[in-house]
Amino acid sequence: MVKKIKLGVMLSGRGTNFQALLDACLNPNFPAEIGLVVSNQINAPGLVRAKSSNIPSVSIPHQNYSNRRLFEDEITSKLRDAKVELVCLAGFMRILTSHFVDEWHNKIINIHPSLLPAFKGLNTHERVLSEGVRISGCSVHYVRAEVDTGPIIIQAAVPVLPTDNPKTLSERILLAEHECYPLAVELIANGNATIQNNTVILSGNFNCSNNLINPLKIKK
């Protein structure tokens, strides 16, 4: 029987990356299971996804707390009660304090829609297009107090097409996110991703396709 670590997923919106994790967890050989979904938005579609799949979930509206410390302490309490071992941020649209990040040091990961350390923060796809970048992508990384920093676990490169707008680029990168997030969790759960000197060291057998070049000249 596969030993499974327990995940806590934090989200604010649709929860498509939560769905990708949930789909992966349906495989009996996947080394993780979702113990709790937390949202700061009571009407988040991601909570509907959780409830329809009989996954324990809770809404913790940040507006109900006088400061971020109290809000985050409530989240930690719920995660601890659910015996969560790894926290997965999946579109959680609140900046977390160093207190919370330290509480879950090396036990909290995030997915960001760019090839970090490039294009940290918001409006990623608009900025990628305005800068004329040819290759974008996504990154799964451990969380640190500074936004969109921390040891990188896995990245996927996605070409930027001449016809792209922020919506089309976002949709294509999201497909890569749905592949990367479960793989990152699997690497961590199996002990194939460890942190040394603030860098993720991978162990095991890996392969990758040929280099991605964009644009690639068509041979005549």
What is the distance between the alpha carbons of residues 12 and 39, in angstroms, rounded to a whole number?
5
Is the domain of 24 the same as that of 97?
A: yes
Q: Among candidates 67, 66, 92, which has minimal Cα distance to 79?
A: 92
pLDDT of residue 138: 98
Q: At 208, is the pLDDT very low, low, confident or very high (cuts 50, 70, 90)? A: confident
Is the domain of 28 the same as that of 122?
A: no
Check whether 11 has a pLDDT greater than 90.
yes
Question: Could you tell me if residue 149 is inside a domain?
Answer: yes
Is the domain of 39 the same as that of 131?
A: no
How many residues are given for the chain? 220
Check whether 144 has a pLDDT greater than 90.
yes
pLDDT of residue 213: 84
What is the CATH number for 10? 3.40.50.170
Q: Residue 79 in contact with residue 56, Cβ under 8 Å? A: no
Question: Could you tell me if residue 218 is inside a domain?
Answer: no
Is the domain of 164 the same as that of 93?
A: no
Question: Could you tell me if residue 219 is inside a domain?
Answer: no
Phi–psi pair at 24, nearest 5 degrees: -65, -40
pLDDT of residue 127: 98
DSSP-H helix ranges across the chain: 16-25, 45-52, 68-81, 98-103, 124-130, 166-189
List the catalytic residues.
112
**Chain mean pLDDT for the chain:** 95
Is the domain of 14 the same as that of 99?
A: yes
Q: Please state the domain count of the chain.
A: 2
Question: Could you tell me if residue 24 is inside a domain?
Answer: yes
Least confident of 82-91, 112-121, 202-211: 202-211
User: Domain containing 20: what range?
Assistant: 1-104
DSSP-H helix ranges across 82-211: 98-103, 124-130, 166-189
Tell me the Cα Rg of the chain: 18
Q: At 207, is the pLDDT very low, low, confident or very high (cuts 50, 70, 90)? A: confident
Is the domain of 142 the same as that of 74?
A: no
Domain termination residue (choose one: 74, 104, 134): 104
The pTM assigned to this predicted structure is 0.94
Q: Is 195 left (phi over 0), alpha (psi -120 to 50) or beta?
A: beta
Question: Could you tell me if residue 215 is inside a domain?
Answer: no
Q: At 212, is the pLDDT very low, low, confident or very high (cuts 50, 70, 90)? A: confident
Domain termination residue (choose one: 45, 69, 104): 104
Q: Among candidates 179, 180, 166, which has minimal Cα distance to 128?
A: 166
The string of pLDDT tens digits covering residues 33-76 is 999 999 999 999 999 999 999 999 999 999 999 999 999 999 99
Is the domain of 2 the same as that of 91?
A: yes
Check whether 219 has a pLDDT greater than 80.
no
pLDDT of residue 220: 73
Domain termination residue (choose one: 78, 104, 130): 104
